[in-house]
């Protein structure tokens, strides 16, 4: 499995990029179309001018508030005004849809393909096709598991293992001073964030005998499935002290289930999540969530810069790790008024 440790960390808006004012006219998540997205109205990241760069982007889906913010950042940045012609597709959480979209982009002869892989494995064949067509591929948000790293030119996203470690460290040090039972709401089975956030959390709690994960099940990163799985946990487990959710939306679903069971989230059961989207941050500010590790979704400006560098024949970093923060209730209250996502 590819890991992104040791890579250079940067803010979402890079120092070398021009000032970017994200437009708000585009819808957050597209449908299943691979037609060019409409242009927005923002200044180009890295500047405009020159020939239009054609980009095919395949998104995982529209499963969460994080994904909506990620999609919007990309669509608002890769606009005609900024020098791009974007073909966007929504894979609806299905790898076969994503592979079909990538092959469509190859047939179209786009300049660059970018995508956020649904799962880590099973990409070599289509990536070999892109390589044979001399179309560079950029991975966003999620990595792929391949022995041939020449199949893509760069990865931009967060360190999911570190996110899990941060969540686990907080649970271990803050709540694990006495025996506690943890239930885990995993992300989509086989996806990089689910695999890495699980392993990172397990590593962080490994030396604390007070912390026990008593149940772990996928909620597919969605609020509805997070609620359903949490309802099952409440019925099957006699004692739950902490919920560790791989994203905010599943944590918010867990809140609904806990409240429906007549319990108080944040008091009877502590909740720790990853993402830090507005809904999650509001729940943290309200005391229903206890701690959030950020995963920054605003990758559009970095992606634009990378694409322009690749098309210009410039060398780009193989792994680019976005800087993320951590939030307790006080920090969430302070951050919410100016929160972009």
Q: Which whole number is the average pLDDT over 26-32?
A: 33
**pLDDT confidence of residue 28:** 32
pLDDT at 1 over 60: no
- Cα–Cα dist 13/56, whole Å: 22
Task: For residue range 100-120, list pLDDT tens digits in order.
Answer: 999 999 999 999 999 999 999
pLDDT at 20 over 80: no
pLDDT band at 340 (very low <50, low <70, confident <90, very high): confident
**pLDDT confidence of residue 73:** 97
**pLDDT confidence of residue 69:** 93
**pLDDT confidence of residue 50:** 55
CATH superfamily of 160-295: Response regulator (3.40.50.2300)
The model's pTM is: 0.81
Non-local CB neighbours of 216 within 8 Å, separated by 6+ positions:
183, 184, 186, 198
pLDDT at 235 over 80: yes
pLDDT at 8 over 90: no
Q: Which whole number is the average pLDDT over 326-335?
A: 98
pLDDT at 288 over 70: yes
Q: Do domains 8-158+297-323 and 160-295 have the same CATH topology?
A: yes
Q: Which whole number is the average pLDDT over 48-60?
A: 85
User: Is 285 strand, coil or helix?
Assistant: helix
CATH number of 8-158+297-323: 3.40.50.2300
Task: For residue range 267-282, list pLDDT tens digits in order.
Answer: 999 999 999 999 999 9
Residues 262-291, buried b or exposed e (16+ Cβ, 10 A)? eeebbeebbbbbbbbbebbbbbbbeebbbb
Indicate the domain borders of the chain: 8-158+297-323, 160-295
* DSSP H stretches of helix in the chain: 65-77, 95-108, 124-132, 160-170, 192-205, 223-236, 248-260, 278-285, 300-311, 329-335
Q: Which H or E run contains 9?
A: strand 8-10
């Amino acid at each position: 499995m590819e890991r992104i440790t040791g890579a250079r960390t940067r803010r979402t808006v890079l120092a070398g990029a021009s000032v970017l004012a994200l437009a708000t006219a585009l819808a957050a998540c597209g449908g299943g179309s691979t037609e060019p997205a409409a242009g927005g109205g923002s200044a180009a990241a890295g500047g405009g001018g020159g020939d239009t760069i054609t980009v095919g982007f395949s998104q995982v889906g529209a499963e969460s508030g994080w994904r909506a913010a990620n999609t919007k950042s990309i669509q608002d940045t890769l606009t005609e005004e900024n020098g791009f012609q974007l073909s966007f597709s929504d894979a609806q959480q299905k790898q076969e849809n994503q592979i079909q979209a990538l092959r469509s982009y190859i047939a179209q002869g786009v300049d660059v393909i970018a995508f956020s892989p649904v799962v880590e494995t099973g990409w070599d064949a289509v990536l070999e096709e892109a390589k044979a067509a001399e179309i560079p591929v950029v991975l966003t948000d999620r990595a792929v598991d391949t022995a041939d790293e020449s199949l893509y030119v760069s990865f931009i996203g967060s360190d999911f293992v570190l996110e899990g470690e941060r969540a686990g460290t907080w649970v271990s040090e803050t709540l694990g001073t006495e025996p506690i039972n943890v239930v885990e709401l995993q992300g989509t089975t086989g996806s990089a964030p689910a695999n890495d956030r699980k392993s990172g959390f397990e590593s962080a709690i490994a030396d604390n005998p007070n912390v026990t994960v008593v149940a772990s099940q996928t909620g597919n990163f969605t609020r509805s499935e997070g609620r359903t799985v949490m309802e099952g946990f409440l019925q099957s487990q006699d004692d739950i002290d902490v919920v560790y959710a791989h994203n905010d939306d599943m944590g918010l679903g867990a809140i609904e289930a806990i409240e429906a069971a007549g319990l108080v989230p944040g008091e009877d059961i502590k909740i720790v999540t990853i993402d830090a989207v507005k809904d999650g941050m509001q729940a943290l500010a309200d005391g229903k969530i206890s701690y959030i590790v950020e995963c920054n979704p605003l990758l559009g400006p970095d992606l634009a810069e990378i694409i322009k560098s690749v098309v210009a024949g410039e060398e780009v970093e193989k792994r680019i790790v976005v800087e993320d923060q951590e939030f307790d209730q006080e920090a969430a209250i302070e951050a919410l008024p100016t929160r972009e996502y």
